[in-house]
Structure 1
């Protein structure tokens, strides 16, 4: 029987799968929560969102997203705060990026009202899936894909918007070993690099697999023209502490506007003696930073890890070691700062937290 949550119809699962979850060993993406939100777009407008048990969807192999790639997603998190409330972190910023991605892929955008009400209704329905262990959270995956069934090359007239969630534990991977990529490219200026569309990720698999076969964890992508300037690390933004300043590549149509990147840069600007530089970063500059000892930190920034320490960067076949990031390092301090903001341990002066009563 359907009930209503925030005016959104909810069909509850007959038997929860939560007892199957090992909350002490949460592999990323392994356990999908009981319910998902779905809503269809047709005839130029969105239908009514509904929450249904997570499961299979009926579709034909002729849907346009499978052939021409109209598929976009987001990644965000909800946290169980110390007072028992639930915090969805920076949903407005995520919506802005989602809509920019959708617009680039000629897909219908989502209104703020539908976005927030859908997130709130789904989180309220599956709030028991939010882990409360230190560093744990509920990962939220909104996605949209073209569903019109035909084989002609065209912009679809029909879409499905879905939100899934899954409990995740703290990021505990070892520091990355990176290979600077000087042959393959992830994207190019004027392309879709700034959008979270599915094709960007599929196209990065092959060179990443080669790097892993060579003993590296991820790729440090460079520009498509000369392979002289740094873009991103894997599918995260990359940041360096160089000459005592925080330095990161400036945004372009080839670089994702990361929400964690934006959060870190905002917090870094609160430190009076710490200069933030968003600019082009030459590979030669990074290499000289290693040689002179002026490069003291390097890390990836993204939703899953918050910060992902980098231990080695291989430049033109040579491994350069980066000092281990201790508790007083910038990356660990800013990670703790973000944790405290999201958990309600520090004032939310930027109004980043969207609170759902637990």
Structure 2
């Protein structure tokens, strides 16, 4: 599709953009443009447009505001050593967005249109992609229901949007392990629910438990299964990994997908990358009892969370209403950090890409 391009008449100055890139934080600054593609039941997907970044005008009665038909994705664009820009496995993000759309009775954006939207925006706003250590351009595709009316049914109109925000190192002063809280009072998702869809409602429902974790002096909440509150699912908005053993014989294990946790793209990639590095990797059910006993015996040596934002975040300590324990020596583990470096090196073009995960944009 050829995108209609309407350039922003008042883009950020070079000085303002440089100031934003010097200390971007996460989601604080946005590039000069955004993508919009509208869908209607009668005409399907309309023409794509790259527009000046700015507010949306929505009727108070649009479906998204009342019935929560809102899905989104997250991926990054990285400056490569030769100055070009690439993104990591965008086809996987497109496929997951299509699955989320199906679960919420929304139209699926075709993969090619998803990829073209990313390329159109990054080509225009490529000056926002910094080449500093761990710097990247975070891309946020989203889709909302835009039909006006209060009938409880799937909307007959939707808008796909794509915005971009520069981000720097997730850990500005170095990678620091987090302390996590095991939530037994709240559940993120139940069998048959929307746990494996990336929809806004999942995140809204998680905030009370995250606030509880912070009240307990923890950085993040860990979700357990909704039936027994025993089996580990994921951490906040990230998937979890457990490292058994050490050195070349280390084995990494992540909770298996049951339909109640998000199938993370970083999660899937690490299963493959671990094998490339000589580790064995697997998916399995892991209970909180297994977690605590493994740390006590020394069999379980490291735990880390993974996701687009922080790549890999070590977990150093666990707390619950009944007990608490430390993982290893409480610091970042060597397997976690080796995996983190390997993934970042691949994404930024400093290491070979044998699986052809990088998608060149410029």
Alpha-carbon deviation of 1:44? 4.6
Structure 1 segment 256-295 matched on structure 2, within 5 A: 256-272=262-278, 274-295=279-300
2:24 maps to which of 23, 26, 40: 26
Alpha-carbon deviation of 1:325? 4.5
Matched-pair contact (CA < 8 Å) for 1:238–1:299: yes
Alpha-carbon deviation of 1:343? 1.9
Separation (CA, whole Å) in 2 of partners of 1:232 and 1:284: 16
Matched-pair contact (CA < 8 Å) for 2:181–2:221: yes
Cα deviation per residue 1:323-342 (whole Å; 9 max; x = unaligned)?
Answer: 2445x711111111112212
Separation (CA, whole Å) in 2 of partners of 1:286 and 1:152: 47
Matched-pair contact (CA < 8 Å) for 1:44–1:157: no
Flag as ranges the 4+ runs of structure 1 deviating above 3 A. Answer: none
Is residue 2:13 matched to residue 1:14? no
Matched-pair contact (CA < 8 Å) for 2:34–2:164: yes
Aligned match of 1:307: 312
Matched-pair contact (CA < 8 Å) for 1:28–1:169: yes
Structure 1 segment 182-261 matched on structure 2, within 5 A: 182-243=184-245, 244-261=250-267
Separation (CA, whole Å) in 2 of partners of 1:7 and 1:234: 38
Is residue 2:170 matched to residue 1:171? yes
Alpha-carbon deviation of 1:318? 2.1
Alpha-carbon deviation of 1:345? 2.0
Structure 1 segment 1-358 matched on structure 2, within 5 A: 7-17=2-12, 19-20=15-16, 21-42=19-40, 43-172=42-171, 174-243=176-245, 244-272=250-278, 274-322=279-327, 323-326=329-332, 329-357=334-362
Cα deviation per residue 1:239-269 (whole Å; 9 max; x = unaligned)?
Answer: 1112431011001210111010011111112
Matched-pair contact (CA < 8 Å) for 1:131–1:137: yes
Mind listing any 5+ residue stretches in structure 1 that lack a counterpart?
A: 1-5
Alpha-carbon deviation of 1:190? 1.1
Cα deviation per residue 1:265-286 (whole Å; 9 max; x = unaligned)?
Answer: 11112244x2212011111100
Separation (CA, whole Å) in 1 of partners of 2:230 and 2:344: 35
Alpha-carbon deviation of 1:309? 1.1
Cα deviation per residue 1:170-200 (whole Å; 9 max; x = unaligned)?
Answer: 1106321101111110111111010000000
Mind listing any 5+ residue stretches in structure 2 that lack a counterpart?
A: none
Higher mean alpha-carbon deviation, 260-269 vs 17-26, is at 17-26
Matched-pair contact (CA < 8 Å) for 2:181–2:216: no
SS in 1 for 2:351: coil
Alpha-carbon deviation of 1:319? 2.1
Alpha-carbon deviation of 1:94? 0.7
Separation (CA, whole Å) in 1 of partners of 2:43 and 2:232: 40
Separation (CA, whole Å) in 2 of partners of 1:210 and 1:112: 38
TM-score normalized by structure 2? 0.94
Alpha-carbon deviation of 1:39? 0.9
Root-mean-square deviation over aligned CA pairs: 1.4
Alpha-carbon deviation of 1:56? 0.9
Separation (CA, whole Å) in 2 of partners of 1:167 and 1:180: 32
Separation (CA, whole Å) in 2 of partners of 1:207 and 1:345: 39
Matched-pair contact (CA < 8 Å) for 2:141–2:160: yes
TM-score normalized by structure 1? 0.95
Alpha-carbon deviation of 1:300? 0.6
Separation (CA, whole Å) in 2 of partners of 1:76 and 1:85: 17
Separation (CA, whole Å) in 2 of partners of 1:143 and 1:342: 23
Aligned match of 1:3: none
SS in 2 for 1:22: helix
